[in-house]
Structures are given as C-alpha cells and as structure tokens.
Structure 1
Amino acid sequence: MMQGSEKIVAAETDESNDAQAIPAAPALDETTVSGLVEAALAAVAEAADSASLKQVRIDHTGERSPLALANRAIGGLPGAERKDAGKRIGQARGRVNQALKAREGELGEAELAHRLTEETVDVTLPVSFGPVGAPHPITAMIELMSDTFLSMGWAVAEGPEVETEWMNFDALNLHPDHPARAESDTLFVAPASSHVVLRTQTSPVQIRSLLTRALPVYVVSPGKVFRADEYDATHLPVFHQIEGLVVDEGITLGHLKGAVEQFARALFGEITLRWRPNYFPFTEPSVEVDLECFVCHGESVGNPDRPCRTCSSEGWIEWGGSGVVNPRVLAAAGVDTDRYTGFAFGIGVERALMFRNGVKDMRDMSDGDVRFSRALMGDAR
C-alpha cells in the first residue's frame, strides 16, 4: 500500500499528465485570436494534397485545436466580455472553415486532373474479341420485305402458327376434298377429326385481318409455315412465307401488278417479271409470277452451248402465286363483295433468299451455322 507522501506525489503526477493531454486555452483577446486564424490560413495554403489538408483540419478545427479550446473558454468569462469573445471566436472559426472548404475543392480538382492524365488507357492497343454472331439471313430478309411494304403504307399482321382447319382451308375456299388437306400434305396437331393444324400458309392471317380490321385493309403477313414436305436441297418441312392482302373499293389486277413489281425491285433491283395464268382456290383470276433468270438473263433459252442450271435453260424462275381475291373468300370474312374487291399474293422467303443471294441448298438455312449467316448478311440487308 502507498504511504501518505506517495499518494501526494502520484496525485501531482496525474495532474501534470492531464495538463499535457489537454493544452491550456489561449487568450481570447483580438490579437491572439487573429494570430490563430493567420496560422490556420497559412497551414491551409501550404497543404499540398488531401491527406495533408486533413491533418490541417484536425490541427486547427479539431477538439484540441487552439480555436476549439478558446471557444470552450468563453463560458468562464464575465457576462460583459462573453458576448464580444463569442463573436470574435465564431468569426475566426468561420474564416478557417471557409478556407478549408475552398482548398479542399482546389486540391480535389487538381488530383482528379492528375488521375485522368496518369490513368489513361491506350485504346490503340490490340485486344482480343470473342466470336461475332450475325442475324439470321431469313430474319433479315423478312425485315427487308416488311420494311418495303411499311414504306408503301401497309401494316404488318401476325397470327398463330396453330390454326383451326376452317381458318386455314374453309375460309380460303379449299373444299374438304382438296389434296392440300390430306394428311400427306398437312400436319395435324391431333387426329384429323380435331380440325386443328399447323398452318400450311400465312393466309389465315389475312382472314383474321378481314375479321378484326376496319376496311380498307392493306396488310402483309410474314411468318413460319409447316408442310409434310421432304427435307432436301429445295424443300423444308418448316419454312417461311410472306403474303400480302389488299381489300378496298375499285381494286383490280393492275394494282396487284404494280405492288408486286415494286416489291421485286426492292429485293432484286431492276428485274423483269412474267405473269402467267394459273389456278388457286382463293383467287380468281389467278396468276403465277416468274422472275427473269438472274444468272443467264434468258440467254440460255434454245442455246445448248450455254445451258443454265438455275432456270433449266428456260429463262424464267417461278417466284410465287397471286391474283384477285375470290369473292367467296371475302364473303366468308363478312365483306360486302358488291362494294369491295382485293388482291393477294404469296412469296416464299427461303426461295427469295436463294434467288437474291445464290444459295443452292435450303438446308444451309436451317443448320444453324453462324458462318452461313455472316457470309450472307452483307447482301441480305
């Protein structure tokens, strides 16, 4: 245990340590306070970076800074002196804080500019890229075809791929004994008695448009269709069509010819078309559209020395069917056939892509090889 004299010595030592831990408050007269402010402002101005400015802030505005201690000492002054001292100390601390804020902004801008200069990336350096894909040429072709008709003021219509037999056949004037309705040609979702099929054409979209849209109707309907075809170089069981339908007052075969010729020029440039009579249940009269062979341009016809495999030396390539809409089709959709007439056409997207890009095998379009898509995309858009 400590004796009495040891306790006194220990107490004096503790008081000495406290005096060193908390500096004595400076005098509060105007000269002393001005000196503290000038010292703080000088330290702020000399701070070279944000780290040193942080230390200046601690030294001159922290809890143990001279100005903070002076502010604490105000409470011990007589009432007459307390007001003047408080105003003097408050103004001093305000000047120091403003200087700190201004210097902080200056240093921040300088450091940001330095980082932007020093941390630049050389964008000319070689970099490695991953494999680049491409839109499928069929998708690009459908977009091109649709855009062509959109520019003519038409609308793009879509419909379900699973259709009722009435929409796919009956409404289009295909009688129950028509060969196209046999199971050898049509894919039924369930037994034939279900009357539900995978659509064999996009023509049901035209019927839906007549049933749901106000007349006149100008629509084009691209989409996927399904048939029980062989999978070979020129046939696919799943392929794409784009069909157009116009129903308005005074529509004639001449309007059909103008629209299809404009469509052909948008896809193939200046090209000659041939119109041949044909038969389709849903149009009357019906015409088949042929394109002049884009390989031989007809020079192989009757010329055994220059045969053409593309058109079999006939000079023409079958492109699609068209005609004036059969009044029975209009009547099935509730259209007044005494007032309205129309035309329709159908084009195979894969066949158009073959003509436009020289594709020899349709199976290349369904193999999913991105090299095929990249090779054609320069021409397919």
Structure 2
Amino acid sequence: MNTDVNTDVNTDMTTDQIARTFVEYFEERGHRRISGSTLLPTPGDPVLFTTSGMHPLIPYLQGRPHPLGNRLVNVQRCLRTTDLDEVGDRTHLTVFEMLGTWSLGDYEGPVSLDWGYGLLTEGFGIDPGLLHATVFGGDDRTGPDTASLELWQSHGVPVELTVEDNWWSNGPTGPCGPDSEIFLWTGDTPPESTPTGDDRWVEVWNHVMMRHLRLADGSLVPLPQRNVDTGLGLERLASLLQGRRSVFECDVFDPWRTLVPALWQLDEPSLRLVCDHLRSAVVVIGDGVRPGNTGRGYVLRRLIRRVLTVLRRDDPWRGLGDLPDELVRHTLDRFRQEEEPEVVRRVLLDEERGFGRLLERGRNVLARRRFQGPLSEEDFHYLHDTHGLPRDLVLSLRPE
C-alpha cells in the first residue's frame, strides 16, 4: 500500500477536540447526545461486543420511539474481531471510537450529506478538492440513489457509482439500504482515479439511507420509518486531519509510541499489533470482561496471547510486568472507564502466567512422536479438545 500522506490536510486539533466539534456541530442542528458507551451489548443480544454506533439503536431504527427524540448523535466505543488479522495496516484498530448521527424518520439522506460536507470542509478545514464520494448505482431490485448523486454534484464533488460497495446491511436479515461514502485523498500527488481504483482514497464517513428491511427469503420490505445512520471512526479521522501516516500515529497513540519502543524493540507491524491489542485488552477489562475459554472472555484471552506471542518471539523473557502504569491509566481515561489500573494489571499478569503454563504443556505435547510430521485437521482438533491448545498457538510453537 502506498503510505504517502497529503500534507495539505492537517490540524492542531486533538482527538478530543475533533470529537467535541463533531458532537457540538450536530447538537446545533437539533441532535441530542446519547450518553454512556460500553462494549457490552444489552443482555440477550447474541453479538459479543458492540461493533458500531448503530448497534444499540436497532430497535429504534425499526420504529420504536427513542426517549431522546428522532435526531441523535454519539461517540460509541466499539470492538471488531473481524479486523484482528488486519491490525498492523494503517487504518484498522480492534477497539476504537465511532462518531455517529441518526435521523429516526426525520430528515433524509441529502440533508445528512450536506451537513457532513459542511463539517468536513468548514468545521475541519478540509479542501473540497480532496474529497470523493461514492453512491449506490442501482440494481435489479432498487433504483440508483439519484438524490445523493445530485447533492454531491451540487457541491462539485466527484462521484463514483457502485452497487455492492454502496449497499449497507447489518447481516443477511434486518435493516438495510443504499449508502453514500465520503473519501479523502491521502496521496502526495493531486487526486487521481476513484476510490475503487486507488487505495490512497481513504473512507472517512459513511451515510446510510436505511429504508428497507431484508426478510429471511431475501425480499425487501419498507421499514416503518425512513432513517439515516452515519458513522466514522474517530481515530482514523484524527490521523487524517493531523496529517499522520496511520491511525497508530494520531495523538491518542503518542504515549504508546513513546514508551513501548523503549521497552521492547519491535518492527513496525509488531509494534502496531502490540499497542493495539494491549490497548484493546485494557478497554475490554475496563468494561468488566475477564479472560475465559468462550465468548467475550476468549476474545480477551486471544488478544493477550497474541501480544505475548509477538513479544516472546525474539525474547522469551519479555513480559507484561514491564507495562507502564501510565499507559493503562491513559487508556482507561481515554475511554472514560472507572476501573482501577492495578485491577487491569492483575488480570493481565494472571493471564500471562496461565499462558506460560500452557506454552510449557504445548511444547511437551508437540514433542511427542505423533506430532513430528505435518499436522492434519484431526491433529488440530485433538490438540484443542484434549490439551486445550488452539490452532494459532500450535502454529506459533511450530512455525515451520
């Protein structure tokens, strides 16, 4: 990936100031801020963690009246396990904050896009010439989103029409609809090509016109109300506005990038993974989750073990006991959590000790004659079910 960054886009605004500007901009336009933010969905929700700002709002997007009204704004912390294997590139984080706005049966998509354009260009000072939009071009079930197309054309923003890339859904069934995504040019040349043709166009904001409900048979029926749901990652936006090369270089990571390299010499991808996973683990613990073998506990366990695997790859004596209290406190404060840093450290160190015992057992088991050759799927299942050795741990102990 080309990592050149356009230096014309930068601001002295901190991530906190960016979030505050976002919220206040929409409060001035009649939105009420949703208070509270947690990674844990409500009891009974089959999803392990909150993955987007809209997740807690699904009942209201389907027609239930929201106690705060029909114009909402919030800053929601999220966790996406689907991005675990992408962490290390310049745009993906496991735990992050999502800025979001909603119209619950109130204004339509063009109003939202017009406000979004105004905030980006006037509120954040982005050159309009560095923007590109994509819009749903229509398929055999739904026509093109001409209203969004005309809005962008009125602002002089180039538009690319797509089909699958601009149809948003929350799964095989549920609310869905066309979306319009806003991209920012990050190259060191004048903008060229389109978002689907050049990855120097980075998505910053998605506006979903949530109008349909997909049923189990795949058919679409109208929702009781026409909604607008928008979202953009705060850390990604901050890195772009601050002219940084990756999300790991925006100001919220400054303490991590100062202190972690002084502890452990790591290449850049490994440094990013260690910082992301440790930061994410602190937040997950701060929301009350503890390591376990299933569900949320296993996600936390996997995050910690991936860190330990990277740290010990070059030096078996590296450990989490060296993690500065400052980083734990900074992360808890960043995500507005009340857990005590010493509690977080105790959970991390307990899990590290358990991982050490598992490594010792794993090496002894894998030293058996049966496992000296290539491992079959039956071997992997046996190692997991009988000895508690997951596939990724087995592979780390047998890198060949």
State whether TM-score is above 0.5. Answer: no
Question: TM-score normalised to the size of structure 1?
Answer: 0.43
